Chain A
Amino acid sequence: MKKDIKILVVDDFSTMRRIIKNLLRDLGFNNVIEADDGKTALPILQQGGVQFLVTDWNMPGMTGIDLVRFVRADPKLASIPILMVTAEAKREQIIAAAQAGVNGYVIKPFTAAVLKEKIDKIFERIGS
């Protein structure tokens, strides 16, 4: 797994963005950029170069699930792996996220080990 890939973390809470960014840094990923909702994430994604997307669901402006649908519908972005990190915990929501095309789903609050495990798993699958 290349450690210099560009990762976009989307969450409306600056604390959560910082936590995820620090955990990614622990895993060796230092090229991490941030956005505070789907709307601000879109132009960043469209500029190109983002190779992994970590997004929350419940955000003002544009929600994470809409962002996932948008990314999957855009041929230029569709192949970006997406990890959803959210407090939304209803079965129906998890199924909807899976159907929308997320590659992993982590519910908040999470542990460092769980986040690391899910990220590793996503990259393992992409590699295989």
Chain B
Amino acid sequence: MPETDLPQGLDGFEALLHAKANELVSVLAVGDVNSALDIVNDLQNVKHLAFYNEVGYLTRGLHEAIKSFSGDVPSDAREDSIQGMTDASDRLAYVMELTEKTSHETMDRVDKSLALVDKMDVQSGRFADLLSLVGQLESEFEGLRGVYDRTCQLKQESESTVAKLREELTGILVAQSYQDITGQLIRRVITLVTQVEGSLVQLMNMAAKVESISGLHVEGPTENKKQNAKKDPIEAEGPQLAGENNPEVVGNQDDVDDLLSSLGF
């Protein structure tokens, strides 16, 4: 069947199927078996072509969608450093770079703040020396009565505030681990995007070939099948989502400790 006869889309295929079916019934009614077999062959061909046409259509659509995703940032709105970032992988890599830089900036400030806290501790020591002097003077001056005790109490309160501040600053520091966690997840997505891109190019090449050839047997992506079969059960996967759908993943540190103690740790 020439390619020009090929109906566009699955609706066209259905219409053609109806027409050919009627034709088949009418030739069989007059006993023309040869024509009937020709019609069956035509239907077979048209089925393949419709399928390949649809694959080609979807592939081109997907390619266009990806191209438009890459170009959806208006050029006049871009910073210098964003210009030229035309694909998703680059953008995700940029997110990792940016979060890493910002995390370090935050930690720089935490380090500076912790140094200030250390300084406050030293000042508190010097304050203690002065206080003991007040304590000695208190007995000599009536007006100073009770000042030593009250100041000591204030000093203790201040020291406990400084200790809490140190704890909070350490909390801010540890919270920067989000950059590692999100970075690992983003890296996996970058790998996926790169693989999809590669497969898409292959699919486009295949679609271009099958559009003009009918009856071709298309092999599945054997490389992926091989990869799945060889998957190592303990291969590093990065952060995983625990939950009912993922019973193999532990929920928290307590679960890790329980599991390890069951192993004699």
Contact = CB atoms under 8 A, between A and B. Distances in A.
B180 to A, nearest CB: 4
A92 B240 contact: no
Nearest to A111: B174
Contacts of B170: 22-23, 26, 112
Interface of B: 100, 103-104, 107, 111, 170-171, 173-181, 183-184, 233-234, 236-240, 242, 248-250, 252-253, 256, 259-260, 263, 265
Nearest to B171: A112
B260 A94 contact: yes
Nearest to B107: A18
A58 B248 contact: no
B250 A89 contact: yes
B21 to A, nearest CB: 55
Given A15-B179, A19-B173, A87-B181, A65 B236 contact: yes
A16 B177 CA distance: 6
B93 to A, nearest CB: 14
Given A13-B180, A19-B177, A92 B248 contact: yes
A83 B236 CA distance: 17
Contacts of B181: 87, 108-109
A20 to B, nearest CB: 9
B75 to A, nearest CB: 32
B191 to A, nearest CB: 11
Given A87-B239, A94-B256, A98-B265, A22 B250 contact: no
A110 B171 CA distance: 10
Interface in A104-128: 105-112, 114
A19 B224 CA distance: 38
Interface string A10-54: 010111101100110010000000000000000000000000000
B250 A91 contact: yes
17 contacts: A13-B183, A15-B104, A15-B107, A16-B179, A19-B107, A57-B236, A58-B238, A59-B236, A63-B236, A87-B239, A91-B259, A93-B236, A94-B250, A94-B259, A107-B252, A109-B175, A110-B253
A78 interface: no
Nearest to A109: B177
Contacts of B179: 13, 15-16
A13 B100 contact: yes
A87 B184 contact: yes
Of the listed residues A15, A107, A109, A112, the one surrounded by the most CB atoms of chain B closer than 10 A to its CB is: A15
Contacts of B236: 57-59, 63-65, 88, 93
Contacts of B177: 15-16, 19, 108-110
A23 B167 CA distance: 11
A108 B240 contact: no
A11 B181 CA distance: 12
A15 B265 contact: no
Of the listed residues B177, B260, B265, the one surrounded by the most CB atoms of chain A closer than 10 A to its CB is: B177
A95 B264 CA distance: 11
A78 B236 CA distance: 23
A-B pairs, top 7 by smallest CB distance, nearest first, are A58-B236, A87-B239, A13-B180, A16-B180, A96-B234, A15-B179, A15-B103
Given A15-B177, A65-B234, A105 B260 contact: yes
A2 interface: no
Interface in A62-110: 63-65, 87-96, 98, 105-110
A88 B183 contact: no
A108 B239 contact: yes
A87 B180 contact: yes
B234 A109 contact: no
